[in-house]
Amino acid sequence: QVQLVESGGGLVQAGGSLRLSCAASARTFSYSAMGWFRQAPGKERDFVAAIPWSGPNTVYADSVKGRFTISRDNAKNTVTVYLQMNSVEPEDTAVYFCAAGSRMTMSSREYNFWGQGTQVTVSS
């Protein structure tokens, strides 16, 4: 049963922008920290950004700091987490995964729920 659903991936030129979304049931994930990870072909899944269930704190991988912004909307029925990607680079090409866990962390092992992923391809 898929509980996290990503959308917004696609093909974008280097220097452009893209916004990813992740929709989740508020009943299950209102109090969950949410994270974005990415996996390029032949590479491990890497941390991108994370946000707690409330409050202003966020954390980013050094490779995306200053270019990507994570945010969330805790609506009544649906929690939506966004990843605004600006000034994208070919190195950002990967499948992007949304994840939910009990606390904000950079470790993928701390996240219990994962989406199916959405492909982002940046052309040079």
| pLDDT tens readout for residues 55-70 | 889 999 999 999 999 9
By the 8 A CB rule, do 20 and 96 touch? yes
pLDDT tens-digit map of 31-42: 899 999 999 999
Query: What's the CA angle centered on 47, arms 42 and 52, to 5 degrees?
Result: 155
Q: Is 64 exposed, middle or buried (0-12, 13-18, 19+ CB in 10 A)?
A: buried
For the ranges 33-37, 45-49, 73-77, which has the lowest average pLDDT? 73-77
Contact indicator for 28, 10 with CB cutoff of 8 Å:
no
Q: Is the torsion defined by CA of 59, 104, 27, 114 positive or negative?
A: positive
Between CA 90 and CA 83 the distance in angstroms is 17
